[in-house]
Structure 1
Amino acid sequence: MSDVAVQIARRVLLPVSLLFAVMVGLGLLVTRVLTHTWPFTVEDGVNREFAGDRTPVWNDVSLVFSTLASTQMIVVVTVLAALVLRLVLHRWREPIFLCAAVTAQALVFFFTTMVIDRNRPTVEHMDASPPTSSFPSGHTSAATALYVGLAVLLALRARSTPAKVAWWSLLVLVPVGVALTRMYRGMHHPSDVVASFLNGGTCVAIMARAVLDKTLTWGRAKVSPLRPGDDVAPAAAPAGG
């Protein structure tokens, strides 16, 4: 097996497989083992509280956040962000990181819903229910991977601490807002969105370690360190002669 294949297996395939196992384990605990244990016994009450507090204004706000994390929007934003990163930075590391994080969370989400069968909350649903299980929340998971992934990249390139804090504060609010609105719209239980933070956030961490790690080597080539202000990857040394 080549060095590259070993690196991919060790840094990507194994961690993502372990994450999938953890997600399935959590799903089984929530749906079969701990259903009559606090705090899962109060989840229905939380969903009823959200449904009872609906207003026309918050309905519109929740629709905006829910749309930001729809499949179509996630795909469009991911592709556009990857293209901008490639054109601005003139390298593939950051676009690959972002696309890989979003793709990994989608695969873990999809296969988890194939194993875990959980009904949607017993309140009025404001959106059409997709055929997947309520556990975990695909919207929340995708938003976490995409917008937290962007926060990681922008914070790494920020030249001041206030700028780093601003990027994190702005972008992390998106998946938090998505999680709240998915519960508000009656589409997910609280434990669904909490598990989705784990899925999306872990995929960002896995891909950051696999792609952005300054000590990473792929075969013979060492990936150059990611430093604030680096716009172009260092040029290869000229051939001897």
Structure 2
Amino acid sequence: MPFLTRYSDDTSTPSVGEALRDIGLRAIAPAIVLWAAIVGIGELIRGPLGGLNSENAVSRDVQKTRTPTWDEVTAVWSHIGNTEIVIGVCVVAVAFLWWRTRQWWVAVTPAIAIALQATVFVIATAIVGRPRPTVPHLDPAPPTSSYPSGHVGASTALYVTFALLAQRIETPWLRRLLTTLFLLVPVLVAYARLYRGMHHLTDILVGAANGLACAALAWGYLRRRTS
């Protein structure tokens, strides 16, 4: 698939100016449309749909499955999506990729992904301002509102980008293993945030959609010749 192999198909070095131009046209501009769509969905939930109060039943059902063991396990999973963890992992990954490939335009894709996701998330959550589920919260509530999930969005953007980068690994079993592990991480974060009462189900789904879209935009930000 050309989209997955675009950086292997065309290894030419872009100028910084070309990369910045492409980020603006191929990543930032579409992200503005994405932001508008997420805000629109959020306003629909809070307005005509009356806040989807029925979702609290889902949160209460999940709350009933809580045990001390799962409380501890999901605490670890939830922390994977923390801002400081995501940024720290991203910085290490970018530095490693830059050193390993000598292709800065590829190495920066995780940073672009989480930057896009964070910008869309922060502005959207401030506008929509959805309250968190009416169940006991097992994590400290950040100053942002419940919609969309920033933890899920950030982990999805980062680790889906890692999964895309993993497709360049030539050893089949290692490529498959890392791809599976990378794609599993945001699923664990999503479940943890629901289990711990920090988000409604739609907050998590829209957060995941935000992360997926930003990962795709970051991966495709640079014009490449694929034929």
Q: Residue 88 of structure 1: which of 100, 105, 108 is its match?
A: 100
Residue 30 of structure 1: how far off its partner (Å): 1.5
Aligned residues: 210
Structure 2 counterparts to residues 1-241 of structure 1, below 5 A? 7-35=22-50, 40-160=52-172, 162-211=173-222, 214-215=224-225
Cα distance between partner residues in 2 of 1:147 and 1:178: 11
- Structure 2: give runs of 5+ residues left out of the alignment: 1-16
SS at match of 2:74: helix
Matched-pair contact (CA < 8 Å) for 2:161–2:215: yes
Q: Which residue of 2 aligns with 1:232?
A: none
Q: Could you say if the C-alpha distance between residues 131 and 210 of structure 1 is closer, same or farther in structure 2, counting changes exceeding 3 Å?
A: same
SS at match of 1:156: coil
Matched-pair contact (CA < 8 Å) for 2:160–2:212: yes
Q: Could you say if the C-alpha distance between residues 7 and 73 of structure 1 is closer, same or farther in structure 2, counting changes exceeding 3 Å?
A: closer
TM-score of the aligned structures, taking structure 2 as reference length = 0.86
Higher relative contact order (CA 8 A, sep 6+): 2
TM-score of the aligned structures, taking structure 1 as reference length = 0.82
Cα distance between partner residues in 2 of 1:75 and 1:49: 33
- Structure 1: give runs of 5+ residues left out of the alignment: 216-224, 226-241
Residue 41 of structure 1: how far off its partner (Å): 5.0
Q: Could you say if the C-alpha distance between residues 130 and 5 of structure 1 is closer, same or farther in structure 2, counting changes exceeding 3 Å?
A: closer
Q: Once the two structures are aligned, what percentage of the paired residues are identical?
A: 36
Matched-pair contact (CA < 8 Å) for 1:155–1:167: no
SS at match of 1:135: coil
Cα distance between partner residues in 1 of 2:216 and 2:19: 20
